[in-house]
Structure formats: structure tokens, C-alpha cells
Amino acid sequence: MRAPDVIVVGGGVVGASVAFHLAREGLAVALLERDGLAAAASGAAAGMLAPIGEARAPGALLGLGLLALRGFETLCAELRERSGIDPQYVVSGAMRIALSDDEAESLRARALALLADRELGVELEWLDPAAARALEPGLSFAARGAIWSPLEGHVSSPLLTRAYAEAASALGASIETGTPVEGLVCEGNAVEGVRTRAGRRPAGAVVLCAGAWTPGCLGWLPGARADLLPVVPVRGQTVTLEAPPRPRPGVIVSGNRAYLVPKRDGALIVGATEEHVGFDCRVTAAGVRGLLDAAPSLVPELQGASFRCASAGLRPGSPDGLPALGAWPDARGLFVAAGHHRNGVLLSALTGCFVADLVRGKALADEARALALERFAGPRSPG
């Protein structure tokens, strides 16, 4: 069997997108995932495509998030066509509500600042409490106003991941689950493949997309500086309720407290905790209790909703909330795409495009400069 041009390590939404974009450029790709597709953060994600709330102020996250959001309709149509899997993209709109007068004041100021920045071209509206309840009749009377952004929405993160992988496979990529990667094959300063239980797997290049486990993979490289990739696990728990149907179900977000994401099948995802507990991926009583209390504080009738399940995942957190993409210094043929934190689903397609460019020897696209791995490089120690 001919060695692939590229081995992608990790079958989350990032690795699957990278595999798809590389295969679409005509490269021979093998994706190796130790577990199943979307087994980690990408299986737990709520799938919101909501850059306006995620980015507190104009900057790289907002700019890239809006760019990504605008591409989702075309992306999902292409993935449906190539893979036969529907990622369940819904333009539901998103409402960010304020639960106190102070919060309403700062949220309104944020809306005005975003609208004033004409280059961003965001579409949003400030709603007073009555207007917010007219749009979301079940909304709590505690809501003191809201930002409404009609173009945000959501996808199913596990289905999007599978759609990328299946589309890559249709283009000739080999998708291998249950295949842990245990090391890198190095020749001098060149990375020439990976090691698995079954032996060496040579490849022209290796892309590490192992989410929160990516810094651990860099430990396979003799002398690698772990501080160049300060990615840490950030646990997120969600609960899924079965909610009575609302007339026009949109995403509802309340500051950092909680969000509600209504899915097409009647499920309502209530998210999410943000916890620094290392690689502990358990669902906890305290996590579930906090989310179950938060949901009816936004929409009171959720007090009577049925409980479906709870889950947890480890976000690959990064210090500035942005992913790190690039060629690993001093290791020819090794690339990294990790640290997507709260926005890996939203930024997955852009990441795939940017990484496909890098692997084909192009420079990182101008709009992706803020994601360059080098931003974490401090001064080198002498010697």
C-alpha cells in the first residue's frame, strides 16, 4: 500500500475537517483516531454557530467567527452532497438576554458598538423586554432586554464531524477509528510518519489534531518545547432536556450562566460548565444541578421538561480562546491544529482550509495570522 501524503491524528471535528480539506486538494490522507469519530469534545459540543456572543469585542475571534458563519450554508450543502450526511444546520437566530438593569446597559452598549463597526457587517437588533418576549414568548419576566442576532444558529457537532470524515473518505481518504497513535517516526529533524500498535505508518507529513491531548503528543518529539502550545483541558458539561415545542425556537444565551440550544429532534441542550479539572471528564452532580437550575431561570416552563441525558467533554482550551495552527518549529513535516476552545465547531472549516494550505507549503492566510502557533513562542533559552 502506498504511504499517504498526510496522516491526521485525531478524529474530532478539527481532524475530520483537516482530512476533508486535504483530500479535496487531491492529497492522499489517512486519519487515525484512537476511539470513535467525535468521541471527545466534538461529541459533547452544543454545536452553536454564535460568534457574536463568543467574542466580547471586535477582534480575530469575531472576524473569523463571522467569516466561518457566512460559509456554513455552502459547506453543509457540499458535505451533504459528498457524504450523504446532513449536519443539521439551522439558522435559528440567537438571543442574548440580560437579567439585570446593569447587564442590560452593558449588553446594549455592546450591541451599539458592534453595529457602529460597519466593516464587520453584523446583523443584530437591541430588544426591550416586551420585544424580547414577543419573539420568545416563554422567556422569563426577569429578562431586562436582549440582543437578537437572526443569522446565528447551530449544527449537530457529531454529525458534522461524521460528514467531514465521510466526505473525505469519498475523496479517497482512509478513516481509521480504534487506532491510537503512540509516537512519531523521526529521521533527523524530519517527521516521517507515526507509530501505532501495528507498527510504523510512514507519511509525507503528520498533522496533530488531538484536541486537549495535542501537547501530550508533542512529548513524542525529542526536546519539543511544550510551552509553545499552551493548550489545556477545560471540562464542559451539558444536560439534554426534551422540551415542549416553542413557536420559533432560537438559541438563548444568558451571559456566562447558561445557554439553551433547541435541536431539530426536540432535544434542548442546556450548557455548559467551564471547569479546570485536568483530564477528568466525568459528569458531576454539581454540574448537572447548576444547569438544571439555570434552564428555568431563562425559560420558566423548562421546570417541567423531561430529562434525557447529561454529558461532558474536554475543550482544548487556549490562553486567548483562539486555536493554534502551524508547522512545528525544528520538525520538518509536522503540523499542529489545536486549541479551538469554545469554538471548534464554528471554526472547523476555516481551520481545514488554513491547514491544507500550510501542508501544501503555502504561508498561513492573512486572515489567519492571529492563529499562528508562533504567537506563543517566547524568547529561546540560550543553547
Q: Which residue, 145 or 316, is less far from ligand FAD as judged by CB?
A: 316
Asked whether the beta carbons of 140 and 298 are under 8 A apart, the reply is yes
The nearest distance, CB 129 to ligand FAD, in angstroms, is 26
Q: Does 75 bind ligand FAD (CB under 6 A)?
A: no
Helix (H) / strand (E) element for 129: namely: helix 129-135
The nearest distance, CB 315 to ligand FAD, in angstroms, is 5
Residue by residue, DSSP assigns 6-62 as EEEE--SHHHHHHHHHHHHTT--EEEE-SS-TT-SHHHH---EE-HHHH-SSSSHHH
Q: Does 274 bind ligand FAD (CB under 6 A)?
A: no
One residue of 4, 315, 335, 350 binding ligand FAD per CB under 6 A = 315
Q: Does 44 bind ligand FAD (CB under 6 A)?
A: yes
> Shortest CA distance to 321 belongs to which of 380, 234, 216?
234
The nearest distance, CB 382 to ligand FAD, in angstroms, is 33
DSSP secondary structure code for residue 123 in this structure: -
Q: Residues 6 or more apart from 122 whose CB is under 8 A from it?
A: 52, 66, 114, 115, 149
Strand, helix or coil for residue 283: coil
Q: Does 344 bind ligand FAD (CB under 6 A)?
A: yes
The nearest distance, CB 201 to ligand FAD, in angstroms, is 11
Q: Does 149 bind ligand FAD (CB under 6 A)?
A: no
Residue by residue, DSSP assigns 49-101 as E-HHHH-SSSSHHHHHHHHHHHHHHHHHHHHHHHHS-----B---EEEE-SSH
Pairing mode of beta strands 334-338, 324-327: antiparallel
> Shortest CA distance to 233 belongs to which of 286, 181, 274?
274
Cβ-based neighbour number of residue 274 at 10 Å: 14
One residue of 15, 53, 193, 287 binding ligand FAD per CB under 6 A = 15
Q: Does 90 bind ligand FAD (CB under 6 A)?
A: no
Distance CA 45, CA 57 (A): 23
Q: Does 30 bind ligand FAD (CB under 6 A)?
A: no
Q: Which residue, 195 or 225, is less far from ligand FAD as judged by CB?
A: 195
> Shortest CA distance to 42 belongs to which of 293, 280, 313, 254?
313
Q: Which residue, 48 or 252, is less far from ligand FAD as judged by CB?
A: 48
Number of residues that bind ligand FAD (CB under 6 A): 43
One residue of 7, 30, 48, 69 binding ligand FAD per CB under 6 A = 48
Identity of the residue numbered 56:
R
Q: Which three cell numbers stand for residue 155?
A: 449544527
Q: Does 373 bind ligand FAD (CB under 6 A)?
A: no
One residue of 22, 27, 32, 324 binding ligand FAD per CB under 6 A = 32
The nearest distance, CB 55 to ligand FAD, in angstroms, is 12
Q: Which residue, 129 or 271, is less far from ligand FAD as judged by CB?
A: 271
Q: Does 355 bind ligand FAD (CB under 6 A)?
A: no
Cell 483516531, residue located: 33
One residue of 47, 326, 333, 352 binding ligand FAD per CB under 6 A = 47
| Per-residue x/- track, 181-210, ligand FAD (CB under 6 A) | x---------------------------xx
Q: Does 213 bind ligand FAD (CB under 6 A)?
A: yes
Residues near ligand FAD (CB under 6 A): 9-15, 32-35, 39-42, 44-48, 180-181, 209-213, 217, 236, 238, 271-272, 313, 315-316, 338, 340-346
